Amino acid sequence: MIKLNNIHKSYVMGNSKLHVLKGINLDIEQGEFVSIMGSSGSGKSTLLNILGMLDNHDQGSYYLNNQQIKNMSEKKAAQLRNELVGFVFQSFNLISFKNAMENVALPLYYKGVKRKKRNIIAMEYLDKLGLKDWAEHMPNEMSGGQKQRIAIARALISKPKLILADEPTGALDTTTSYEVMEILKEINNDGITVILVTHEHDIASMTKKIIRLKDGQIHEIIRNGDLTNFREAYTKELETI
């Protein structure tokens, strides 16, 4: 599904050059549930942006769905994003002057689906996420959890193969966070690859694979079997604080 080979990325900040990713090698199979962790500045968001074709890498090769992502035109990238990837953001990023249903339906608009049809589909997804009654509401009338669920519905509506979530629970309280994670888990159970970035251990421990980044490189990969250990280590970490 995803194959990263020696990915480098640096940003130019005025005169200095900031080397964010220093050679990432990573394979993610279809249907995996992965979280990327790391301290701030470790490059986790940059990695997610590259995975979502929102940013270009400088070096190395990136294959998504057996297709090399390289020097793509913006149009092509937009089309691939629309087809393959659904995004969920920390700050929800709903369009403020559109109601819930219209927000969910937007990706289909860019796919060229007729208005009536895409509104019906949007209602289906809202129903799936238990927000059918909120279809006509504007984003500012809803709670954070509801907004994030709408964002998830929007990410799912184009039937992507990959969901990329950038701190999806970062702006939510614990109970809502767990609800959102439940939803993501269900999505994953349907066979969609989910990759999320988080710095919360408890959120990360709900995924099946944790990639820890440190200084732009992969520090360790904790697989499903080791998660119990990770959880214990994490609780210990908490206790020592």
Partner 1 sequence: MFDIDKWQEIIATIKKNKLRTFLTGFAIAWGIFMLMVLLGAGNGLSNGVGSNFEGNATNAMWIWSRETSMPYQGLKAGRRIYFDMKDYDEIKKLDDIDKISARYFSNSRTYSFKNEYGQYTTQGCHPDYRDIEKLNIDEGRFINEIDIQYKRKVVVIGKDIKEALFKGIEPVGEYLNIGGVLYKIIGVYAESDPREGAQQGLIPITTAQLIFNIGDRIHNLAVTTKDISKKESLQIEKKIRTLLAANHKVDVNDTRAIGIYNSLENYIETMNIFKAINIFIWLIGIGTLIAGIVGVSNIMLIVVKERTKEIGIRKAIGASPSSIIGLILLESVFITLLAGYIGMLFGISLMELINFVMEQQSSAASSSDRGQFTMFLNPTVDLRIAISSLLLLVGAGTLAGYIPAKRAASIKPIEALHNE
Using CB under 8 A, list all residues that contact partner 1. Answer: 49, 52, 54-55, 74-75, 78-79, 81-83, 86-87, 89, 91, 93-97, 106-107, 109-111, 115, 154, 158
- Contact assessment for residue 150 and residue 131, using Cβ atoms and an 8 Å cutoff: yes
Nearer to partner 1, 146 or 158 (CB): 158
Nearer to partner 1, 90 or 207 (CB): 90
Structure tokens at 159: 């039937």
- Contact assessment for residue 44 and residue 36, using Cβ atoms and an 8 Å cutoff: yes
Distance of closest approach, residue 113 Cβ to partner 1, in angstroms: 11
Nearer to partner 1, 74 or 190 (CB): 74
Nearer to partner 1, 96 or 140 (CB): 96
Q: Mind giving me the DSSP string for 61-115?
A: EEEETTEE--S--HHHHHHHHHHHEEEEETT----TTS-HHHHHHHHHHHHT--H
Distance of closest approach, residue 214 Cβ to partner 1, in angstroms: 22
Distance of closest approach, residue 131 Cβ to partner 1, in angstroms: 18
Q: Who contacts 180 (Cβ-Cβ below 8 Å, separation ≥6)?
A: 145, 148, 149, 152, 168, 169, 172
Other Cβ atoms within 10 Å of 200 Cβ, number: 16
Nearest-10 Cα torsion for 134, 137, 143, 146: 40
Distance of closest approach, residue 231 Cβ to partner 1, in angstroms: 32
Nearer to partner 1, 49 or 177 (CB): 49
Instruction: Determine the Cα–Cα distance for residues 68 and 194; give it in Å rounded to an integer.
Output: 20
Distance of closest approach, residue 125 Cβ to partner 1, in angstroms: 14
